[in-house]
Structure 1
Amino acid sequence: MTHAHDPVRSLASPTQAEHQPKMAKDLSAFTLFAVAFGFVSIATGIFTAYGSVLNSSGPLGIWTWPIVVVGQLAVALVFGALAARVPVTGYAYQWVSRLANPVIGWIMGWISFMFLGVVVVAVDYTIASTILPVLLGYAGTTANAWAITAVVILLQAALVAISTHATQKVNNTAVTLQLIGMIGLTVLLFAVGLITGQFDWSTLFSTGSVPTEGYFALGSLSDISPWAMGFLLGAFTIVGFESAANLAEETKDPANVVPRAMWRAVLSLGVLGFLFLVAVTGLSGDPAALANSPTPVADVITTVLGSFVGKALLVLVVISIFSCGLVITLSGSRLIWAMSRDERFPGWRSFRKISPSRGTPMNATVFMFLVGQAVLGVFSAFSTDALFALFSAATLLPAVIYAGTVALYIVKRKQLPPTRGFTLGRWEVPVLAVAVVWLIWELLIFRDESFRASWVYVFVMLGIGAVYFVWLLSRKGIRGLTMPDLASIDAELDAEPPHHA
């Protein structure tokens, strides 16, 4: 098998690699699963967005969750097919650069960078704005929320910069705790709720304080129905599974391990998350009153299981959110490093370096930290509802990334090299159909007027990227934007023994 001139299977040249320290290729299958699971983090997503969904869609909004799971599972399977053919750090940036051309690939890389820059702030801001004030009993303000979030982002960046292995251990432990905690809580809620008679099945089909008239309407050009708003809960939560692909070059047998990590994370999180949502919603009592609480999930747990378990949930959520932010920082630093290795990111000479002593892209990680601080400052200063603006922007951007990547896969899939592991086989066309329908529907949701702040962030960041892109064109021209000094990675892959799914 040789693809010496195939631009799809490529990495930095051996000459370049000889002068750069390499990251170790020793990540295990569980570590990759934990990375995907930790990024998605149902404890983080549900705790952050559940109150917003109660306000916009009522309890009935949770029934959009299974649809999101099916749609995102289809996307994860498509990404798995790509990861099995192009096992290169940088995921969507690398794939699109090879599926389409380096110019479109650069745009996708920049959008991915925009997403990672905002989502790390979105999840970490939840700790400071809603959880710690309740857990520690102090009054939350914009000022202390900003300060605490800044410290959390700093701690995550420091850990990622210092040691990949330490980061793995922290995330693996956090994911294990989250799995045990969420399963245990779900079982306890159902058991206590059903035994005591507190569980109310009718609440699951109530719209709460949301009017029933026009609930399922298609909406207008700038307005969507309450039911459509419910999709934000799942769409915000079940993203980031592709972060496993961003560690492909540090993983043994990536063609099998990475795809499995992605789809298993989506499926397991989807099932567990829905059961947890049903349990919490069925025990919510008065959902209209609950919607006004900054911590509605914790309130339900405290009412049903007592204050000790309620506090324990908050501690679990803090651990889960810290783990989620850790994985986002890890993924963001790898993307910056991958684009810098290809000489296509601002300041690439510094950001492509690997620390000889740490084996980590330390400079790229420091820059990821600075970006997070900048995004935090902007949203805290200019948005009256910073948390909603952050989580909606962090939902819009991956939808754009997923749609662009899936569209290019459909066009170019016949030209891809053969897989060395995972394949969609005869299910390819049905999976693609589901992914396309879901992504079109998801993108249409963001026409609503309430997402104006999210679109402003997108356009501002695209404007910054456009300035740099014009500068690249002025220096290199379109031909000069081709991936520099690329060599086939087939020899590297062929040197490894074949693996089977």
Structure 2
Amino acid sequence: MAGSDSDARDAAELAQFGYSQSLERHTGKFASFAVAFAFVSIATGIFTTYGSVLNSSGPVGIWTWPIAVVGQLAVAFVLGALASRMPVTGYHYQWMSRLANPVLGWIIGWISFTFLAVVVVAVDYTIASTILPVLLNYEGTATIAWFVTALVLLGQFLLVALSTPWAERVNNGFVTLELIGMVALTALLFVVAAVRGGLDFSNLVSRGAVAAEGFWSFGDWTSAGPWMMGFLLGAFTIVGFESAANLAEETHDPERVVPRAMVQAVFASGVLGFLFLLAVTLAAGDPVALAESGTPIADVIENTLGSAVATLLLIMVVLAIFACGLVIMITGVRVTWAMSRDERFPGWQLWNQISPKFHTPLKAAVLYFVLAQLILAVFSQSETALFTLFGAATLLPAVMYAAAVVLYLVKRKSLPQNGKFDLGVWEMPILVIALVWLVFELALFRDSSFKEAWAYVLVMVAIGAAYLGYLMATRGRHGLSMPTMSSIDAELDAEAEKG
């Protein structure tokens, strides 16, 4: 009865935003945390980008990680405050539409969609191009990587499309394994390397093979300095934590649960990830030789703990990547469905439906799956496909975070307090840290190595702009208004009158 009462209250709060309860509420505290943690996926991010950091910044590049964690943690607090006040599926799209204006909301919604469409391919492609060839001892090719990635996408699609509870069960299980595995690996690396005398503390301040000249510089107009590029390790890994907000309409007491899940996921990922980076770097041996490896993390594990543990690591990373891609797909499908529910997504008549049999946005899932396969086909034969996909997948969330933080800064005094997640006296310090971090992060993408990532972004923005122009021409600006948007305005006006 208590659960029914709670769900009834959640449904009533959702109705204030103009929506009836159409998705089933079954997501609890751990499942919400697991969604946020799986998207961040430190096993995926560190395994994928550590080699790039060794080549661009050397081992000393790992010290960019704690700075990125502090910046992203500040962003998580700000986004958590927004999620608590607007617990509606669609996250960035909903926040911007209701607190800024529907046109800007549509733009951010489209950027969210393009990010989620590309990042699932980037993440899943890692399994096929980097991990399985080592794990199964075969020579990888672009065609094999394409085929394997397509199969991984298919498995994730079937879970997302046919059963949200089962998708969450799989994710919960894999996240639990990742947490246990990362803690165990980190402890074993420290202990075994210390016993064998293999901890090299000079690695923590080593530049590896990177030249000393200009190492600490910010770079110029078209390039970032070597150490600055190391920030991409944290910038790529610690993203997507706000995915928990995209399941707000499926979460019990989302105003309280979702923001805490976001902050806890960033904090846990940041602390555990940095300890793991320290352990790997201390046990790395010769960092110059390690930088030449395609799987440096696996090499360090194998040299320190043996081939059996290295194999277990690779299996754990495969499971972590699958969970990460699964959550990304869940999030992308929810954005598609949320925008279609408001009749603002191309072909919305099809994608706004909830399957009466599976209780999922089945048709939206089909669309997202097909688009992901198309993106995979476009990039599959490119030798720089992985870097391009990762570049776009790091750039787009930075843009979304910056928009959300600026939005909160402008609207913070008019936002009603709900007593469930407020920043209190820490609000301004947190906002300053978040803004400084995001300006710095966005400045990194001036580097010419991201030109293909920018090209993808510009193409997708152009497609979105064309459809937005069509909506504006056929409906006018007022035709893009959110459902019962007056309810939000009325609440703000009431607060102002009381003041």
For the aligned pair, the TM-score class normalised by the smaller chain equals over 0.9
Alignment check: 8 A CA contact 2:98 2:485 kept: no
Q: Are 2:316 and 1:321 aligned?
A: no
SS of aligned partner of 1:84: helix
Instruction: Name the structure 2 match of 1:450.
Output: 449
Partners of 1:278 and 1:26 in 2: how far apart? 38
Corresponding position of 2:393: 394
Residue by residue, what CA displacement relative to the aligned partner does 1:129-184 show, whole Å, maximum 9, x if unpaired?
Answer: 01000000110011110111111011101110000000010000000000000000
- Name the aligned partner's letter for residue 463 of structure 1: A
**Residues 122, 389 of structure 2: 8 Å contact kept:** yes
- Distance in 2 (CA, whole Å) between partners of 1:39 and 1:225 is 28
Alignment of 1:179-218 (within 5 A): 179-218=179-218
Distance 1:389 1:286 in 2: 29
Instruction: Report the alpha carbon displacement of residue 109 of structure 1 after superposing the two structures with TM.
Output: 0.3
Query: d(CA) in 2 for partners of 1:197 and 1:271?
Result: 25
Q: CA deviation at 1:384?
A: 2.5
Task: List per-residue Cα deviations over 1:197-238 (Å, max 9, x = no partner).
Answer: 011000111010101111111211001100110000010000
Equivalent residue runs for 1:319-468 within 5 Å: 319-381=319-381, 383-468=382-467
Cα distance in 2, alignment partners of residues 195 and 389 from structure 1 = 41
The answer for the alignment partner of 1:283 in structure 2 is 283
Contact 1:239/1:398, CA 8 A, preserved across alignment: yes
Alignment of 1:136-147 (within 5 A): 136-147=136-147
Flag the 1:9–1:457 CA change in 2: closer, same or farther, 3 A: farther
CA contact (8 A) 1:128 1:145 kept: yes
After the TM superposition, which residues 25-44 of structure 1 pair with which residues of structure 2 at under 5 Å, given as runs? 25-44=25-44
Aligned amino acid, residue 11 of structure 1: F
Identity over the aligned pairs, expressed in percent?
62
Task: Quote the Cα distance in structure 2 between the aligned partners of 1:67 and 1:328.
Answer: 25
How is 1:94-243 mapped onto 2 (pairs within 5 angstroms)?
94-243=94-243
Deviations 1:63-91 (A, max 9, x none): 00000000000000001111111111111
SS in 2 for 1:224: coil
The CA distance in 2 between the partners of 1:203 and 1:367, in whole Å, is 47
Assess if the C-alpha contact under 8 Å between 2:76 and 2:262 holds in 1. yes
- The answer for the alignment partner of 1:300 in structure 2 is 300
Corresponding residue for residue 477 of structure 1: 476
Q: Which amino acid aligns with 2:218?
A: L
Amino acid at match of 1:242: E
Q: Structure 2 counterpart of 1:371, which letter?
A: L
Pair 489,104 (structure 1): closer, same or farther in 2 beyond 3 Å? closer
Shift of 1:418: 2.2
> What amino acid is aligned across from residue 436 of structure 1 in structure 2?
L
Q: What's the offset of the Cα at 1:12?
A: 3.6
In the TM superposition, residue 420 of structure 1 has moved relative to its aligned partner by 4.4
Are 2:98 and 2:482, in contact at CA under 8 Å, matched by a contact in 1? no
Q: Which amino acid aligns with 2:55?
A: N
- TM-score between the two structures when normalised by the length of structure 1: 0.93
Find out whether 1:78 has 2:84 as its counterpart: no
Supply the distance in 1 between the matched residues of 2:404 and 2:433 (Cα, whole angstroms).
Answer: 14
Shift of 1:311: 0.4
For residue 489 of structure 1, report the CA deviation from its aligned partner: 8.8
Residue 499 of structure 1 is matched in structure 2 by none
CA distance in 1, matches of 2:289, 2:391: 23
2:259 alignment partner AA: P
* Contact 1:119-1:390 within 8 A present in 2 as well: yes
Q: CA deviation at 1:417?
A: 2.2
CA distance, structure 2, for counterparts of residue 366 and residue 287 of structure 1: 44
Whether the 8 Å contact between 2:39 and 2:327 is mirrored in structure 1 is: yes
Give 3-state SS (helix, strand or coil) of 1:415's partner.
coil
Distance 1:362 1:86 in 2: 25
The equivalent residue for 2:274 is: 274
Distance 1:107 1:9, change over 3 A: farther
- 1:51 counterpart residue number: 51
Partner Cα separation in structure 2 for residue 435 and residue 186 of structure 1: 29
TM superposition score normalised by structure 2: 0.94
Measure how far apart 1:487 and its partner are: 7.3
Q: Does 1:11 align with 2:17?
A: yes
Q: Using the alignment, how far apart are the partners of 2:322 and 2:16 within structure 1?
A: 34
Cα shift at 1:127: 0.1
Paired position in structure 1 for 2:8:
none
2: CA distance, partners of 1:370 / 1:489: 36
SS of residue in 1 equivalent to 2:17: strand
In the alignment, the residues of structure 1 paired with residue 434 and residue 16 of structure 2 have an alpha-carbon distance, to the nearest angstrom, of: 27
Contact kept? 1:332, 1:368, Cα under 8 Å: yes
1:392 maps to a residue whose letter is G
Does the 8 Å contact 1:12/1:342 carry over to 2? no
The answer to whether the Cα contact below 8 Å between 1:71 and 1:438 also exists between their aligned partners in 2 is yes
Q: In structure 2, what residue type is equivalent to 1:255?
A: E
CA shift at 1:11, angstroms? Answer: 3.0
- State the distance in 2 between where 1:134 and 1:384 align: 18
Deviation sequence 1:300-348 (CA, Å, 0-9, x none): 0000000000000000000000000000000111110100011100111
CA 226–9 in structure 1, closer or farther in 2 if over 3 Å, else same: farther
Deviation string, structure 1 residues 453-492 (Cα, Å, up to 9, x no partner): 11000000001101111111111011111124557499xx
Is 1:254 matched up with 2:254?
yes
Name the CA distance, whole Å, in 2 between partners of 1:402 and 1:171: 25
Query: Offset of 1:92 from its aligned partner?
Result: 0.6
Q: Distance in 1 between matches of 2:419 and 2:251?
A: 14
Q: Any gaps of 5 or more consecutive residues in structure 2?
A: 1-13, 490-499
Structure 1 CA distance, aligned partners of 2:300 and 2:15?
Answer: 51
